[in-house]
Amino acid sequence: GLSGPLINVYPLDLGATEAQQATISSLRSLPASFKLAFGFLSDNLPIGGYRRKSYMFIGWLVTSLSMFVLLMGSNLSLERHEEFDEETQQMITVTVPDEDSPSVGFFSSCVLLFGPG
């Protein structure tokens, strides 16, 4: 989906380790493993007389709220800084997240709530 590039690139810009990057990828696929259980749940416990629509609406609501919290609760911009690399004796441009950017844990929880995208 459209969230693929964001999920693959942005955590590395936040300074995520490879283990954290793998965890984020695993969290992204976790909701898909519960499809069978949610299918049985929606078939046996209809909400408001609807078997699927009400659960789809709840899923869209949770997704929208998690993305809204990510959007409003953090600064997703990246800053560029010039640094001198002593090994190569050259100026290099380093991209770093802003001070109030989301943490890797917060980003992971929003990805989990967002689902498989």
The pTM of the full predicted model, rounded to 2 decimals, is 0.48
Instruction: Note the helical H segments in the chain.
Output: 4-13, 18-29, 35-44, 53-72, 104-114
- Where the chain has pLDDT below 70, the residues are 1-10, 12-13, 74-78, 100-102, 104, 107-108, 110-117
| d(C-alpha 111, C-alpha 8), whole Å | 11
Cα dist. 35→1, 6, 23, 64, 74 in Å?
A: 18, 24, 20, 20, 31
Query: Helices H, strands E: what count in the chain?
Result: 5, 2
